[in-house]
Structure formats: C-alpha cells, structure tokens
Chain A
Amino acid sequence: MDPLFYVFDTLVFVGIFALLTVSLNLEYGFTGLGNFGKVAFFMAGAYTYALLANQQLPFYLCLTGGAAVAGITGILVTFPALRLREDYLAIVTLSFGEILRIIIKAEEGIAGGVRGIWVPSAFAPLGSMRSLAVANVLLVLCCLAAAFLLAQLLAHSPYGRILRGIREDDVAVQALGKNTVLYKLGVLTAGSAIAGVAGGLFAQYMSFIDPYMFLPLVTFFVWIMLILGGPGNNWGALVGALLVELLNRGTRILKDYLTLPVDPNNLQFILFGLLIILILLYRPQGLLPEGPVKTAARRMFQNAPSA
C-alpha cells in the first residue's frame, strides 16, 4: 500500500478511537462511572449512520442521527443502574453490548444481520483516491477536535468540578443539594453521543459494517487506551489512543517479519492484559496524571505577584 495512505488510515483509526477514549474519560476519568459497554453505543452510532446514509441523507445529518440514537440509548440503558452502586452499571452496560449485537445479528430485517450492510461514502463526488483520503482524515480530526474541546470545557467548568466531586464522594455532592443521578445521566448521554459519532465515522470510513466488528474487544481497547494515557486527563486520552493504536499496528507489521513460536495475535492480547494489570499496580494514574482543575481563582492566584 502507498505509505501516505497508510498514514492517513492510521490517523483515521487513531481519531475514531481517540473519540471513544475521550468519551470514556468523561464517564470514568472525571465522573468515576464504569461503562463496560462502550462498544454498544459505538455500534448504535455506526448502524444508525449506515441506515440513514442508505436513505441518501447527507453525512452530517447521519452523524447527528447516530449521536442522537446512541445518546438516547445511553439514557435508556444506564438509567435503571444509576441509582445503585457503580458495579451494577458495569454489569448492565457490559450485558447490553452483547445484547445489541445479538439483536442486530438475529434481525436480518434491520440491517442485513450477519451479512452486514454497505454504507455509501460521504465523499464519493470528490473522485480521486487522494482527496477522498484527505477528506476522511479532516472529517475525523474535526469531530475529534470538537469533542476534545467540549470535554476540556466540561472538565474545567463548575459542571466538571461537580463531576469530580461525584467521583470522589457521591454522598457529599448530594449533601450540597446536587442531584447526582441527573449529572451522571448527563455525562453518560454526552459520552454515548460522542461514541455514536465515532461509530458513524467508522461506518462511513469502512463503507461496510457487520456485527462481528463490534465485539467486546472494542470496549477493552478503549479501556486500555484510557488506563495507559491517564484517566481524568483529556490529553492522556489522546496519547493513550495514539500509543495503543500504534502498538497495535506495529505488532501487525512485525508479524510479517518475525517468526515466533506462538501466534502473535494471542501473544498481543496476553501482553495487553498484563500491561493493564501492571499499570493498575504500579502507575494507576497513567502516563499523564490528572492535573489541577483550572479555575478563575487559581489563575488569579498564579498571576498574582509573589510578595
């Protein structure tokens, strides 16, 4: 393959996974919510995009539709578990990821079942391969930039401080008169909608999706990225997504040059699993630890002449 296209392809995948990682960072990094079904909302966005795009809708409407459906799904799925302890949410989201795949697989009427569904390209009129690739990269990076800015704004606003408060001590925040369930629901809606956008971009880029692309493995990858990069730090989410995707691609290239006594695919997952456990043990804050919250007061304090 043309090396330039390979770079573009890598950028698109890094961008899509960075979107997922940023969304998980909102949920887990800032609010402490363990969403173990990220793939479900990714899938909801991807399939909504595919169905809408097949109705000849323009791509921005398809992406918005994907975000809306994923966001609403997020509300419906997580609401029953939100009043309870955090492990219930983990089990519910994890199960939902499996269920959604089973439904899409079994109901051929919705989107082709196991045979998958074709997705028309958003940039087909551009013609040349090169401009198509550039357009894809730009689209993904624009969405990532928007989501990243949103996440940064949220994290450093009073809203974000309440989210951190919920993460540290749910009851204390309730005692301050905040409805923590509403905050959690808001974050999960935003996180799921961002994951939905990532799904739409994925469907658009792949131009074909089937249920086997949405295994729990996707969720696991997003968690590796966040844990490695640093939960609670949006820059860490980006770095994690970049590093893990590069590692992933690096091993795929190495496979062609190395002959190992073990299957490199198996080895890769064993190493990823061990890596996670080691990070959790020895560097739980990740590569880029969470920084102090930027507030107006802190800025004034820092700018004040030291007397």
Chain B
Amino acid sequence: MFDTGQIFFNAAVTGSLYLLAGTGLTLTYGLSRFPNFAYAEFITFGGYIGYLFLQRADGSLPVALITAFFASGILSVVSYRFCFRPLIDRKAALIPLMIASIALGYVIRYAIGEVWSWSALSYQPVWSAFELAEIRVTALWLYLVGAALLTGTSLHFLLTHTKTGKAIRAIASNPELALVSGINSDRVILFTWFTGAALAGVAGVFRAADTQLFPMLGWDILLIVFAAVILGGIGSFYGLIAAAFILGLVENFGVVLLQAVGLSTEYRMAIAFLVLILVLIVRPKGLAR
C-alpha cells in the first residue's frame, strides 16, 4: 500500500528538522526551567535572515545557513539579557516567564511582519528531486539530514568531552551544586541560549526552503517540537534525538494513513498532540528518564 523506504527517508528528513528546531528548546528548558514559546520566532527569524541571501536564484545556501545561525543566536541572547534574565532576577514564577515568552514572540513576529510583510515569500533557488536507490530525494533534504547528523555528533562531543558541555549538564541537574562547584553558570546559560537558538535559525532556513516563508512558520511547527521535547524528556538532548525521529515516523506514517481513510492531512498536528497526551498519561518524564 505504501512505499516504506520513502516513508522512512521522509521521517528522517522531518525528524532532522525537529531535532534542529528542538535542541535549543530542550537545553534551555532544562537550564532555565521554563518553556520558551518565543522559540517559534527564533526559527522564523532564521528563515527570514536566510531570505536575504536566497531571494536570488544564485544565492548560496551555506552562507544563508551560517548567517541565520548567528542572527537567531544573537536574537536569543539579546532576548535573554533584556527580557528573561531581568524577570528571573526578580524571581518571576514559571507562568509569568511563559507569558513573557509568548509576548516576546508576538513582538518579534509582528516586527517580522512589519519588515517583510505578512504575505508568503519563497526562496528562489530550486532543489529538484532525483532518485537515489529508488527513493525520491532532493539535495536540500540530504543537507538537512547532514546538518542534523553534524549537530548530533558535535553536541554529543560538546556535552561529554568539553568543560562547557559538562557544565550544561551539571546546571541542568542541580543548579545550586553547580554554582558552589565554581561553574560560571551565567556564561554557560548564555552559551546555551545562543547555540540552541542558532540551530533553530538553521531549522528555519531549511523549513522555508522546503515550503514557504511566512511569519507563522515557526509557530506552525512549534507545538510538534514541544511534543518532541516532552517525549524526549525535558532537558535531554539524547531523548530529543529519539523523540524527533519517532515523531517524524509517526507523522509520515500518519499522513499516509490519513489519506488512506480520507481524512484531511491537516491533522498531522493532531497526531503530534495525540502523542503528547499519550506521553503525559503513560510516561510523563519522557524517554530519557
């Protein structure tokens, strides 16, 4: 009935996107202990920065990716420094922090709408499909999977073999103990906010290249990314790797099933929601713990 190889490849592509988009979300969620809904806009912002380079057909994807990486990272650091850090210093509780992140998201989203308008834009370079071992692929999808692999390995190296990475894990598991052990948690947290959002910006470029660019781009995938973060276990990068690909699989099989039973493919988000509810009922701590 369906082409299993193709579905698995598509799942890898979708999962790679969720991994890139969710890495920063889960790491900062673990460190700063609140879900940052403005991540949607970090993703979107990356997409629009990429547009600066990819609005011409001869635009270079690597340049767009690298610029989006730094732009979204800097946006995240600025938002931490001027919005979240002052709130945390004033002992703001969890829900006010979440509201602030939603409010900040609106500020960024409408600023993007003001600068680039609300109508959908498209990147000009075209990545045409070709067959690779009977699977339909595009170079863009291969880059995306490659970027996810690179992220996975380098973050694994970072978390296990560097001082910063160990500090990230230490702060996430016990902030007070980390502080008395002499870890400069301010610097580590800023580093994580930067890197995480930078990867989200990269995800934004890939998403925009694959579909279209519009101010709701990040918001449209944010809830699925949240489902992945919770399925993986909040704060766990390794859990997220598994969860992102599980959600990719569930979504791609789900879409085929939806088409088979004649339901709208708009329900792909509902599938992620179903996964989220099941996780909360069965294993609220997520896969990692």
Contacts and interface: CB of A to CB of B under 8 A. Distances in A.
* Genuine A/B complex: yes
Interface stretch (B92-100, B134-142, B240-248): B92-100
Contacts of B103: 220, 272-274, 276-277, 280
Contacts of B223: 91, 94-95, 98
A280 B269 contact: no
Given A88-B284, A273-B106, A227 B269 contact: no
Contacts of B276: 91-92, 95
Given A80-B277, A88-B230, A36 B102 contact: yes
B110 A102 contact: no
Given A263-B114, A277-B104, A87 B280 contact: no
A87 B37 CA distance: 11
Interface in B184-242: 223, 226-227, 230
B73 interface: no
Contact of B96 (A95, A265, A267, A284): A284
A99 B270 contact: yes
Given A274-B107, A276-B103, A92 B87 contact: no
Given A94-B223, A95-B276, A87 B98 contact: yes
B35 interface: yes
15 contacts: A84-B284, A90-B95, A102-B267, A102-B270, A103-B270, A105-B266, A106-B263, A223-B102, A262-B114, A272-B103, A273-B104, A277-B83, A280-B92, A280-B103, A281-B90
Interface of B: 34-35, 37, 83, 86-87, 90, 92-96, 98-100, 102-107, 109-111, 113-114, 223, 226-227, 230, 263-264, 266-267, 269-270, 272-273, 276-277, 280-281, 284
Given A87-B98, A95-B223, A280-B103, 6 more contacts: A90-B35, A96-B273, A98-B223, A103-B270, A106-B264, A269-B107
Interface of A: 28, 32, 34, 36, 80-81, 83-88, 90-92, 94-96, 98-99, 102-103, 105-107, 220, 223, 227, 262-263, 265-267, 269-270, 272-274, 276-277, 280-281, 284
